[in-house]
Amino acid sequence: MPLEVFQAPPTLRDQLIEFQSRQQCHPLSELEEFKEELAGYVGIYLLYYRGEFPLYSGIRVANQNSCCMPIYIGKAENPGKRTGKGSVAGGLIGRLREHRSSIRQATNLDVADFDFTVLAMAVDLVAWGEAVLIRHFQPVWCSIISGFGIHAPGKGRGAQMRSMWDEIHPGRSFAVQLPANPIRSESLQPQVAQHCQNLAVRLGCPVEER
C-alpha cells in the first residue's frame, strides 16, 4: 500500500506569495533604522540587487523600477521557539546583518546596491516558506552561485574549496585562506543571463535586451 503523503494546500502557497508581494522594500544600507522593528522576529528575507556587476545585468534591469527579482532568499529561525518572536540577538535582524557584512567584505559589491524585504512568520512555517519562495523566484545566489549564506568552515574543514560565491566575490576573511575554486564569472554569464531572462518573463519584470 503506497504511503500517504500530506501536502500543503496550493492556496497556502499562493497566499504566501501574495503576502510577500505586499511587503515593502528597503535599502540594505539603512538596515539599522529597522533594528527595533525587526529585532526578535523570525521569518524569511529577500535580497535584491541593482548594481553594475556585469554577471547580474539581467537582475539589475529586472529591479530597475521595483523589487521584482531577488538575488537571494534566506531564512532566520530559532529552534525551539513556537511563536513569531525569538531571541533579540538573532532572528531577521541578525541574519541580515551577517549578509550585509559579507557584501561589505566583497571587493566587487556595494551594500548601497542592495535592497531587502522581510516576511515575519511563525517559526513552524519558516522552513516551508523559504522553500516555497526559493522554488518560485529561483534566486541566482540560491540556484546557480552557491556559498553566500555559509559561515567560516569548522575545525578540520579548512582545506575545503572556496565557494563559488567567494571565488566570484572575493574578500571574506575566512575564504581567503581556502583553496581556489576553478569557476570564473565569465563562464557563468550565458547561464545566468538565460536564467534571468526566463525569470523576468515569468515574474513580469523588465527584460534585458539581448
CATH number of 52's domain? 3.40.1440.10
157 vs 164: CA distance, rounded Å: 16
Whether the Cβ atoms of residue 44 and residue 128 lie closer than 8 Å to each other: no
Residue 4 placed within a domain: no
In the predicted model, is pLDDT for residue 1 greater than 80?
Answer: no
> How is 103-133 classified by DSSP, letter by letter?
HHH-TT--GGGEEEEEEE--HHHHHHHHHHH
Residue 171 placed within a domain: yes
Per-residue confidence (pLDDT) for residue 87, from 0 to 100: 47
Average pLDDT value for residue range 137-166: 84
Please give the C-alpha separations between residue 192 and each of 165, 196, 198, in angstroms, as whole numbers: 13, 6, 10
121 vs 78: CA distance, rounded Å: 12
Residues 6+ apart with CB under 8 A from 175: 162, 163, 166
In the predicted model, is pLDDT for residue 105 greater than 90?
Answer: yes
Band (84; pLDDT cuts 50, 70, 90): very low
**What is the per-residue pLDDT across 175-204, written as a single tens digit (0 to 9) for each?**
988 999 999 999 999 999 999 999 999 999
Residues 6+ apart with CB under 8 A from 173: 105
Residue 29 placed within a domain: yes
Per-residue confidence (pLDDT) for residue 153, from 0 to 100: 61
- The single residue listed with the C-alpha cell 524585504 is 117
Band (75; pLDDT cuts 50, 70, 90): very high
In the predicted model, is pLDDT for residue 86 greater than 50?
Answer: no
Average pLDDT value for residue range 135-156: 86
3 vs 152: CA distance, rounded Å: 40
Average pLDDT value for residue range 42-56: 97
| Beta bridge mates, 45 | 74, 118
Closest CA to 72 of 129, 21, 141: 141
HSE at residue 196, side-chain half, CA atoms within 13 A, is: 31
Domain count, the chain: 1
The C-alpha cell at 135 is 522554488
Band (88; pLDDT cuts 50, 70, 90): very low
Average pLDDT value for residue range 127-134: 96
Residue 88 placed within a domain: yes
Residue 56 placed within a domain: yes
44 vs 23: CA distance, rounded Å: 11
Range of the domain at 34: 10-203
Question: pTM of the predicted model, to two decimals?
Answer: 0.91
Helices (H), 76-184: 91-105, 123-137, 140-143, 164-168, 173-176
In the predicted model, is pLDDT for residue 136 greater than 90?
Answer: yes
Per-residue confidence (pLDDT) for residue 11, from 0 to 100: 94
| Cβ neighbours, 10 Å, residue 185 | 17
178 vs 51: CA distance, rounded Å: 27
**What is the per-residue pLDDT across 170-180, written as a single tens digit (0 to 9) for each?**
999 999 889 99
Residue 1 placed within a domain: no
36-45, 46-55, 57-66: the lowest-pLDDT one: 36-45
